[in-house]
Structure 1
Amino acid sequence: MDRRINIRAGNRITIDGVDYILENMVPSQTPGGADELQLKDFRTHRIRLMGQEDFDRLYAASKITVWDPKAGRAAALDVPPCDNGDDCGTCKPCTAAARQRALQQLMIAFDDAREARGISKTDIALQAFLDQQSCRWPADVGPIPKAAVFRRLLRECGVPGDRRVRDLRPVVSKSRSKKPRMHQLVENALWNLADEKFWSNRKFTYDDLHADLVTEIAATNAERTTKGLPLLKAPSETTVWRMVTRHCDFDHLRKRLGARVAGRMFKPLKGRLTASRILETAIMDHTWFDCHVIDDEHLVPVGRP
């Protein structure tokens, strides 16, 4: 198998649109034979064996997607292909696709130069490389990236030897502010109703809270219409449930369900676990052992405990 593919047992792999879990490597029963990958269907839990040649062939044809456990599955192109053919180069989808292909070739050229001459990833070295490659950069795909942007692309879009176009997805900053789900006046009305009716009465359900909120918003919109102000949008039942559940703390739950239930959910347990005899206390986690269970009859690995 290609050594540049970094996968291990437990990784999630998509083959032709079907999700699998890589369980282990099945060793060959014949001396010198090729080993096989044991894959389990994520939906049906069926076992599939795949040889190294088939895996490399499908991976080279971009029919296999290896999921990153931290970042999730790599997204495909964000823009659809153009229907005007290869002659079109002015529309936004074609320009975006051409820029992604140019970035792919630029990263491949850097990987080759780094392997041959040992180029570092400092700002000075990267900017010198980009200035050298600027003469080959297409003129109709926008400016060539700066050193800091190019370093981020090298870090987040593939690995050396495996730079594919679909990995060049836009990276959205996690610190970017999000648009609030509801207007501030609607949120204030929700918390006022929750303090007056919801937390103090366990028979007052989420549906009742949502109905009262919609009624109050309708009355507020009637006043705003006379003043020429924009109307407020009422949130859905799911949004109301999510907002109230997210802000459920010890004091609110004590008012609604009692101190015993609130203490059981929020107060930590005191003391420690003690064992007076063997196997009285068991502590379990989901860490896999570095061993494989072998079937006694067929001598085939059946999984990792």
Structure 2
Amino acid sequence: MGYRPSNFGLAQHSRYPAGAPLPPLETLTPPRASRSDLAQLQGLQVKGMSGKTVALSELVRPERGVADKTIYHKNLMPVVYVTGDVAGEMESPVYAILQMSPEIGRIAIPEGFRIEQHTASQPFLDQRYAMKWDGEWHITYKVIRDLGIAFVAVLVLIYILVVGWFHSFVTPLVILIAIPFSLVEILPAHGLLGAFFTATSMIGFIAGAGIVVRNSIILVDFIELRRSQGMPLDEAVIDAGAVRFHPMMLTAAAVVDAAGVILFDPIFQGLAISLMAEEVASLFLSRMTVPVLYYMAGRRLTLPS
């Protein structure tokens, strides 16, 4: 009973009236010098069941030696964990890694080589000192990789569907060109609202790609409808940009209104920002770029009417 208060401190509570807020917990701890002195530790009085006290030195025998250390392994390789938390303006581990990597690379090893740093895979051999950036960064890397693969798969599927609808290999490229144009507004929108680009932001970008393609499809479909009615290419392009702007604006307003519900949610804020920024950018950029690109392709190639 006497060992713990003398070394780790004794928690104390203060009296407080009913209804008052709970006061903070106060811990009384002896000075470090007293806790580190072996003689004082041996002189601690321990009370037995009979109520008599006896010195701790009569119950234990001190021994000096090296305490056993925990040996960690990961993927059958020895490892030593060095952990740290990042907080403040630069909460993402990417910024900390970029700042620390050059300093770690300058550390000289007695054997004459440098510390190898790995970000995506673990060291192949354990004969030399190596460092693997893990933890939150590894999760971030896997999420970006998987979502990037998913985005490429989405583009391929959209291209196949549009090829089957328009019976052309060039027209779908004109339609899909609106996706990278809408990307230019996503990162500035995150910076303007002070939000981080997270995994939900990438999910919103992938989901918004379908909406952006829809705007391009209604433009191209209207152009080809006018051309099938005998309207010249240049007039059909101008007519599509003027007539189809109204349904595109209604779609953008609906997306912005729906995404505004989760705009201030701490988890899905990135999703809302990506959807809103991508749709607003598509509203103005797709209306101009898609008809112009279709006109340029129609002048050089024979597109189906």
Question: TM-score scaled by structure 1?
Answer: 0.28
Structure with greater proportional helix content: 2
The structure that has the greater radius of gyration is: 2
Question: TM-score scaled by structure 2?
Answer: 0.28
